């Protein structure tokens, strides 16, 4: 039977952010089964579906970019797959993209090394203090923290739109040792505790976190897992 490998991107929002990586794995697999898509199972005593997910996201964080690779035993158009899956999934967990990929495509876990998180920060005492601090001393502290050394590539800093005391921050988390073959992904939890403590000193707290995208580092460029299989 024909084997097809599909890569798909899905969102994880609202209530579903409280579900663990393994919970989401089971929910997706059951959805595939309900959709009537023929999954390829591993051989052996305890057959497991051939599905591999991108790195786990911390519990409680919403995401616009989770990925998985699935091997199926039928010829299926990627768009049809999205439709079939989305009729089985709640609005908090929907597929947004899918592509048929080569069976030898490197696994998501080994390939992805960069995550893009955006933070909405709320200042408790409105003013310029935070921006100055961030450009100066605070920014330095973020960059020089041993646990996240080399982790920050770029910080996008935007002033709040209508509300003065809300600022937006974009953070690209890099793996610590991204140059080596054995890539490690940016560990959000390692960074987050430190970051929260740090900004508390500036009277700022994190209001909301969103994982926006994941990237693969290729030829000195950042590509999404979908772009890389083009």
CB 12 within 8 A of CB 83: no
Specify the stretch interacting with another protein by CB under 8 A; choose among 43-51, 99-107, 154-162, 197-205.
Answer: 43-51
Site map 85..114 versus another protein, x via CB under 8 A:
---x-x-x----------------------
Q: Interface with another protein includes 8 (CB under 8 A)?
A: no
Number of H helices, E strands in the chain: 6, 9
First to last CA, the chain: 25
CB 178 within 8 A of CB 158: no
Q: What are the Cα distances from residue 13, in Å, to 24, 62, 65, 92, 108?
A: 12, 5, 10, 5, 21
Q: Based on CB atoms, which residue is closest to another protein, 89 or 114?
A: 89
Site map 136..155 versus another protein, x via CB under 8 A:
--------------------
Site map 44..83 versus another protein, x via CB under 8 A:
-xxx-----------xx-----------------------
Give the closest residue to 151 by CA, choosing from 175, 135, 170, 171.
175
Binding site for another protein (CB under 8 A): 14-16, 18-20, 22-23, 26-27, 29-34, 36, 38-39, 41, 45-47, 59-60, 88, 90, 92
């Amino acid at each position: 039977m024909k084997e097809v490998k599909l890569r798909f991107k899905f969102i994880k929002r609202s209530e579903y952010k409280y579900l663990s990586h393994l919970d989401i794995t089971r929910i997706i697999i059951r959805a595939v089964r309900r959709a009537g898509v023929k999954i390829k199972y591993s051989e052996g005593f305890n057959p497991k579906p051939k599905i591999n997910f991108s790195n786990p996201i911390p519990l409680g964080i919403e995401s616009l970019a989770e990925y998985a690779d699935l091997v199926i035993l039928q010829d299926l158009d990627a768009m049809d797959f999205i439709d079939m899956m989305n009729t089985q999934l709640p609005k908090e967990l929907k597929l947004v993209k899918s592509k048929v990929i080569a069976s030898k495509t490197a696994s998501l876990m080994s390939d992805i090394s960069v995550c893009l998180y955006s933070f909405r920060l709320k200042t408790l005492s409105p003013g310029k203090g935070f921006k100055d601090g961030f450009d100066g001393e605070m920014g330095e502290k973020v960059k020089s923290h041993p646990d996240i050394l080399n982790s920050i590539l770029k910080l996008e800093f935007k002033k709040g739109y209508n509300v003065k005391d809300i600022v937006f921050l974009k953070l690209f988390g890099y793996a610590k040792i991204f140059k080596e073959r054995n890539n490690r992904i940016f560990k959000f939890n390692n960074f987050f505790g430190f970051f929260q403590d740090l900004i508390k000193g500036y009277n700022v707290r994190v209001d909301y976190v969103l994982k926006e995208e994941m990237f693969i580092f290729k030829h000195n460029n950042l590509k999404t897992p979908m772009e890389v299989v083009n």
